[in-house]
Amino acid sequence: MYLSYDGTAYHGWQIQPNGTSVQESLMKALATLLRRDVEVTGAGRTDAGVHASLMVAHFDSDMPLDEVLMQDKLNRLLPPDIAVHRLRAVRPDAHARFDATSRMYHYYITTAKQPFLRQYRCRLFHAPDFAKMNEAARTLYDYTDFTSFSKLHTDVKTNNCRVTHAEWTQEDKDTWVFTIRADRFLRNMVRAIVGTLFEVGRGKLSVEGFRRIIEQKDRCKAGTSAPGHALFLADVTYPEDIFMQP
């Protein structure tokens, strides 16, 4: 199931005891259509307020589904800030999280006051040094252990990730976007990287200092996490052999 959502109203992707989640909304809609409880597993867990221009999730069905009709019915049931774009049948052992080969995030900043984009951009009052930030971002390619950019006390077995792309590019006069792609991401990793890159861009941290933070493997050494409302999960890729042929 390929979908997108505006995360503003949600306490993240994962079901929470004290708030509405995207996962819960999808499970309720599927339960209504399939007339049974349905577990939905996502490719990852976005934090509270974080958006997805493309998220992938899987669920099990005990009968063949008309993918186009099912997509239409889901969209009629789901709230307006969640949209299903496509359904594809996969092998019975396929897994949205474990079979993903890469994920990509976008983080947007603006140096201007933009009333209509305030929920989707991080406002900076002074333009940082993007050349220095890109120089620091390129050092991410040299490492695999990103403990310094991980939320503490998570349940993962390893903090190793392979970053294959990390770059700031300018979209218009006032807007810049940070694109980062890796095989996997740790909890809070992108926001911690962006927040630490802000310190490089403001001249408070050198490129070598950024490198030392990674090598220290200590979250307390890195910068404050950037706000979640400007972060979008933008892509998730899979090997083609997990999909059933039409």
Closest CA to 236 of 188, 192, 191, 185: 185
Supply the CATH classification number for the domain 2-92.
Answer: 3.30.70.580
Which stretches of the chain are assigned E, i.e. beta strand?
A: 2-5, 41-42, 51-58, 82-86, 102-110, 122-123, 163-170, 175-182, 231-237
DSSP annotation of 128: -
pLDDT at position 154 over 80? no
Tell me the C-alpha distance between 104 and 153, whole Å: 24
Question: At residue 155, does pLDDT exceed 90?
Answer: no
Q: Which of 6, 47, 99, 235 is catalytic?
A: 47
DSSP string, 170-213: E-SSSEEEEEEEES---TTHHHHHHHHHHHHHTTSS-HHHHHHH
Render pLDDT for 63-115 as a digit per residue (tens, 0 to 9): 899 999 999 999 999 999 999 999 999 999 999 999 999 999 999 999 999 99
Choices 2.30.42.10, 3.30.300.180, 3.40.50.1980, 3.30.70.660: CATH for 107-234: 3.30.70.660
* pLDDT at 60 (0 to 100): 96
pLDDT of 246 > 80? The answer is no
State pTM to two decimals.
0.95
Domain with CATH 3.30.70.660 in the chain: 107-234
235 is known as an active-site residue: no
Tally of CA atoms within 13 A in the half-sphere of 178 that contains its CB: 30
Ranges of CATH 3.30.70.580 domains, the chain: 2-92
Q: Stretch 128-143: mean pLDDT, rounded?
A: 98
- Residue 96's H or E segment, with its range, is none
